[in-house]
Chains A and B, each alone.
Chain A
Amino acid sequence: MNASRHSSIAGIALALLTACGGGDDGGGPVDPPPPPPPSPPAPSLEVVAGGNNVPDRHSSDLWVHGGYAYTGTWGGLSRNGNPGDLVNIWALTTSGAPELVDSVKVPSIGTVSDVEVSDDGALLMFSAERDANEGLYLYSLADPRSPALLDRELVPGGLHTATFSRIGGQLYAFAARNPPDPALMIFDAGNPASLEVVAEVPIPPFYGIHDTYVRDGLAFVFAWDTGVIIYDVGNGIRGGSPASPEEVSRLVTAAGEAPSPAVHNGWWFHNPNTGERRYLFIGQEGPGTIGSRASGDLHVVDVSDLANPRQVASLRIAGAGAHNFWMDEEAEILYAAFYNAGVVALDVSGTLSGDLTSRVIGQVAPGGAGNTYTWGVQLAGGSLYASDMLSGLWQLRLE
């Protein structure tokens, strides 16, 4: 997929029309022009399998690795009396359909706020909030159906998110500590049986840090009304390291129709087709009524000059709000969870500017109206998986 997806369709149609128009030699009656060729079918997102499979709890984040998926649970409001104290374990069938096979129950936590598996598949990590045992958890996936606890680090106030990154060959976890003392916490996970905090970077309490995206030794910290802050944590451009992050730059994205920037999450797009590392996609989490409506745009920031990021484009889905992202970088498609609007697929090929509405190439509310509030998405094994707070884990496909 390249920059000319849209223009090429119009161009082909124009060329065909021109060819068929022919020259008029002034002879007899002119045949009516043939009808234009049918347009290629528009891509669409479709439900393949899963769904309505976590009836006793609200679902939260997801991670898929190999033949298994792991989903968290959210306990901001108990469902059928249950808090968000489970990590559900799913086996994927040969067709990729999720089947619930087991779960890990963690005492005295209210929400599993983020879930991730290390790139080698050896470790399951999740962050937890809302009760005495809130903090960071690491499990061995030696048996992926039966995670075994390796270590935990309790963090008062809880952690909103956590993500792995290898820097200099060493595995680290970057975690977002909640208010009242919000901070980027960086853990050395080299010895997973003994997590060690190597750095704490205070973040202004407006409402603090929500998520972190780490790539190429740069940590993009999504810090609500403070905006996005870029740290060198091993890239070298500012001499930073995981133990001593150095700020590169920061940017406050537009509030749009929401009351504040509410910078929540992001993805730094490395385009394998062009070699560009130009765009940072940012999710804005505006006000919402959980389960029914939300707000907040998807923003595009040009970070080709990391020291001077600038916003260049945005997408608004009316009546809905952005949450977590995943990318098919080779296909140049961004998948965004949009809460009550479900999942949106966005063509991000070529140059991005202005309103991106025309680049939406697929959208699906997997649970249907009133039963969709999608937290996150992930592409794995040729399928797109979506974790929905109301309707559980879904397998989707972009046709």
Chain B
Amino acid sequence: MLHAGALGRLRLLAMINLEGATLSSGELAPGAWGEGFVDRRHPHTYVHELLLSADDLLGGLDGPGRASITLGKGFAPFGTDDPMIRPPLRYPVNHHLAQILERAVAIAALRRGPLLVELGLFNGDEPERPGQWPRVGGRFGDSWSGRLTAAPMTGLELQASHAQVHSPEHRPGAGTDQRKWSLSGRWTRAVGRYPVYGLIEWARTSEARGFFVFSSLLAEGAWTAGQHRLHYRFERTTRPEEERVSPFRSLRPHLENSILGTTRWTIHTLGYEVAAVESSAFGIRPLAELSYGRIAKVGGGIFNVEQLYGGNDFWSLSLGARISAGGGLHRMGRYGAASGAERDAMEHH
């Protein structure tokens, strides 16, 4: 990750992601889907973010306001934070309902007081492999999104956003379009002596002129006491069941616009993390996370949950450690005037 400030108002941000090398076949995660993967979380592209922001464009002309333009590759202004920077390790099923990532973006942002407005143009196509770049030629500008964020009090942030995405799953552009909505409330402030994080979000994607509708309700929180952190997530999300060409891959490129059915994933995830080694330069945080989920078929179709999975519920246990050098991850997807005070503390990492 690189943040570099230059010429006063220009800021370069780069995030390299090596998941394409470390988990090229994805990470086992029942319920996860997207970018041709199913029941495995897909690896992100090597260049996860590469953006240049021109911030505070109007200087004092807009009074206390702050306007910015951001160009590059990154998140479209839609939905909630990338799961990578949130406390639970497990990726939520709703990743592709609640975020739009790894696109060529042009974003205008205006912050004034407690309100922030972002508008973005981008290419609709999502990547199909880690080394792939957005299809700028012919696709840039075929999709757009807008996000309104309000901070009515310290620690509380409310968000509403909408996006229209053209053919996200077919790069040449013949796929179905999506209309997406997201609402969320986010809390990041200590309660008493203990830092508390909370997020509640609702997301909905309507595809193929409403023929398919997928939705999600997610609530998660984390409570920190000294070196120790507990987190919990509840999620209920529907996803499409596509034709698979192997147990963990769906057919790409598409040949038609049919699915096998829709499933609803209800998952509880509980985790514990301890800061075993923590300094300003280096950290090791062992963690354990337990998930229990139930899978249900919603509506018709030939998809059969029990036939594929041998049951309709699952347990999953993850053990690991977060190892960090330098500062923490920035809040991905918030650029220029949309980036908060935390930005200033994270330069030059």
Contact = CB atoms under 8 A, between A and B. Distances in A.
Interface in B251-295: 253-262
Q: Which of B177, B243, B257, B299 has the most CB of A within 10 A?
A: B257
A74 B173 CA distance: 27
Contacts of B303: 77
A294 interface: yes
B172 interface: yes
Interface string B228-267: 0000000000000001110000000111111111100000
A79 B177 CA distance: 31
B263 to A, nearest CB: 12
B211 A287 contact: yes
Contact of A77 (B177, B208, B243): B243
Contacts of A259: 176-177, 208-209, 211, 257
Given A77-B243, A179-B255, A287-B176, 12 more contacts: A77-B244, A77-B303, A180-B253, A205-B174, A208-B255, A258-B208, A258-B209, A286-B257, A289-B258, A289-B260, A290-B302, A292-B300
Please provide the 10 A-B residue pairs with the shortest distance between their CB atoms, ordered closest to farther.
Answer: A292-B300, A206-B174, A291-B302, A288-B258, A76-B243, A287-B257, A287-B211, A287-B208, A289-B301, A179-B253
B172 A205 contact: yes
Nearest to A179: B253
Q: DSSP class of A's interface residues: helix, strand, loop or mixed?
A: loop
Contacts of A56: none
Interface in B171-221: 172-174, 176-177, 208-209, 211-212
Contact of A390 (B212, B260, B302): B302
Nearest to A295: B211
Contact of A289 (B173, B177, B300): B300
B177 A294 contact: no
Contacts of B73: none
26 contacts: A76-B260, A77-B244, A80-B307, A178-B255, A179-B253, A205-B174, A206-B174, A207-B174, A207-B254, A207-B255, A208-B255, A210-B255, A225-B174, A259-B177, A286-B211, A286-B257, A288-B257, A288-B259, A289-B300, A290-B261, A291-B302, A292-B261, A293-B300, A370-B300, A373-B302, A389-B302
A258 B208 CA distance: 7
Interface in A135-189: 160, 178-180
Contacts of A224: 174
A259 B209 CA distance: 6
A237 to B, nearest CB: 30
B170 interface: yes
Given A58-B302, A207-B255, A289-B300, A77 B260 contact: yes
Contacts of A311: none
A282 to B, nearest CB: 15
Contacts, number: 97
A260 interface: yes
Interface in A292-318: 292-295
B259 A289 contact: yes
Interface in A193-209: 205-208
A117 interface: no
Which range contains the number of B residues in contact with the other chain?
20 to 34
Contacts of B259: 288-290
Given A259-B177, A287-B176, A77 B302 contact: yes
Interface residues of A, number: 38
Q: DSSP class of B's interface residues: helix, strand, loop or mixed?
A: loop
Contacts of A292: 261, 299-302
Given A160-B255, A205-B253, A390-B302, A287 B260 contact: no
A45 interface: no
A291 B300 contact: yes
Interface string B289-329: 00000000001111110010000000000000000000000
Q: Which of B173, B255, B257, B304 has the most CB of A within 10 A?
A: B255
A92 B254 CA distance: 37
Contact of A294 (B170, B255, B258, B302): B258
Contact of A285 (B174, B209, B256, B262): B256
Q: Which of A224, A258, A260 has the most CB of B within 10 A?
A: A260
Contacts of A218: none
A330 interface: no
Contacts of A390: 302
Contacts of B211: 259, 286-287, 295
Given A207-B170, A258-B209, A259-B177, A291 B253 contact: no
Interface in B132-176: 170, 172-174, 176
A257 B209 contact: yes
Interface in A234-292: 257-260, 262, 264, 285-292
